[in-house]
Amino acid sequence: MKRVLSFMLALCAALGMVCLGEPAQAAGKKLIAVTYDDGPGPYTERLLDGLKKRGVKATFFMQGMNAARYEKTVARMYREGHQLANHTYNHPDLTRLSAGEIQSQVNRTNSILDKAAGKGADYLLRPPYGSYNSAVGRAVGAPMILWSIDPQDWLYRNAATVKNNVLRNAHDGAVLLLHDIHSTTVDGSLSAIDSLKAQGYEFVTVRELFRRRGRTLSAGSSYSQANPNGKDLGPVQQPEITSQPKGGQLEITITAQKGTAVYYSLDGSDLNQQSRRYTGPFTVQTPCTVKACAAYNMNGSRSDTLEKKFDRPAAPAPVLHIENGFLIIEGTTPEVAVYYSVSGAQDSNGNQLYTRPVALVPGVRVSAYGAGEGYYNSASVRIAYSPLGNVFRDVFPEAWYFDAVDKAAAEGIIQGQGDGVFAPKDSVTRGQLVTFLHRISQETGAAPAGEGNPFTDVPEGKYYTEAVAWAVENDVASGYEDYTFRPDRKVTRQEMACILYRYMTGCCGAALSAGGLESFRDRNAVADWAKEAADALSASGILQGDTEGNFRPADGCTRAEAAAVLLRVQGYAPPVI
């Protein structure tokens, strides 16, 4: 039926009866979509070479069985910006198939094309022989693309004849039917393309032809041309990739024309439907290669891919120390200088070049970065010199817990992990909690481990050994039925409530309020054995809930939270000495 339809179109053309559309509008270029059916085949690679040389994008309506044989060719088509389209799996007359058989032909081919375009891509369909009816339209689930020009390359295996037939019938908005399974078609169509480009025609994919003319393609409907209508929405423009140093990395921003989606990769890989979708600026480590394209549809309506390499290294980040009230910075080299700034109780008035140790007063924050010609700026590093004389690399004045951590560290209740690291977000363990309370109690000389804490997992010489013995001796904490204390186990908030309650009422003789649990949404989640303690400590303000009104009994406790809680305990019930 395709050949019958093609013959009728050719006859009408000969009699001057084919509507070739209105002359090209001044508002846009003459557009034409060249399409190739039935491949890929042995001549398709040569065709792709010719199209690439001419900067032409085509639409390939492929038989699934051939696409499966020429996977690399299909991948190249997609990579070079051509549109992949469906011509069924093995070219049956769809009007003679059931709906299920039609869908099998379509879906089987789509799955093969997905290997190049990525899952989620959608494909236009050309029914074999141009044969379709309403039942076919309902079953295929895609727009059906016919043609307005058939140079009968399948009949005339002659390159000159193919060329002449194309030129004789070319018109603005045309869909040109060709077959890349014939060598003469490759030669004739490329020669025709040269002539039409010289006449001012712009070659676009089928999807771009209809988009630029402002026409929407609907599933189940058929289309054969997109006559000029005064509209030309223009081609999809390449995006722009810009960068700026940020924290020892590069912050990448991609901008594209309104209405398009941007797809990108960071490892130089080719883009398809499953590539990353740009949602906003992101950071990368150098060196790296960013590829990006803008698309209304990744299969047939996308820009050329832009590739940008970022190959300069980042400057090494400086290392900051505060010793005896002086700022000392390591990391300067002949190629890389370090710039620092001081804020808080002392102000450096912006970034200053570091040349020698700098005297500081407590209550300041220092930031610094490395910079040099041929380098991206390093990550900015910070260090805090607290009002109480502590040095922190991970606790800064803007944190809600800064004052509590500063005081707890200064008083030796919670010690850091060395070199200015406090680890405020680390979870507190059972061994750590009793150690903190033991320090608050200011008691020493607890029973030896063998007498006071008969636990198989509390050996001599650990930081928590004496504290566990003290906790057991004073009924502050107890172990488990298997004679373990599990000192390295994260303590839950309800366990913390019990331990603090025993300490405050037993060791300190504190009288605590009651009724605190009633205000929490998750009060029923508190274990029975912890209800009395949680109720009293929440009523007394020692333990507080989250912003949504939950106590979170099974959650852990961070070191920053522990600092705030222990200072409340210390202020509410000071130890009796």
CA neighbor of 85 nearest in space, from 120, 134, 148, 38: 38
Residue 485, Cβ density class (10 Å: 0-12 exposed, 13-18 middle, ≥19 buried): buried
Q: Do 30 and 159 touch, CB atoms closer than 8 A?
A: no
Q: In angstroms, rounded to a whole number, what is the distance separating the alpha carbons of residues 126 and 114?
A: 17
Q: In angstroms, rounded to a whole number, what is the distance separating the alpha carbons of residues 354 and 131?
A: 79
For residue 207, give the amino acid letter: R
Instruction: Tell me the CA distances in angstroms from 516 to 26, 417, 504, 549, one per residue in order.
Output: 78, 35, 16, 12
Annotated active-site residue 37? The verdict is: yes
For residue 80, which phi and psi values (nearest 5 degrees)? -90, 10
For residue 548, which phi and psi values (nearest 5 degrees)? -100, 10
Instruction: Tell me the CA distances in angstroms from 181 to 30, 47, 404, one per residue in order.
Output: 28, 10, 77
Residue 388 DSSP one-character state: T
Q: In angstroms, rounded to a whole number, what is the distance separating the alpha carbons of residues 115 and 194?
A: 32
Query: Which residues lie closer than 8 Å to 15 by C-beta, 6 or more apart?
Result: none
> Which pairing describes strands 358-359 and 326-330: parallel, antiparallel, or unpaired?
antiparallel
Give the DSSP H or E segment for 497.
helix 493-502
Instruction: Report how far apart the first and last C-alpha atoms of the chain are (Å, whole number).
Output: 104
Catalytic residue among 87, 91, 179, 182: 179
The tokens for 2 are 């395709």
Residue 480 DSSP one-character state: -
Annotated active-site residue 347? The verdict is: no
Question: Which positions are catalytic?
Answer: 37, 179
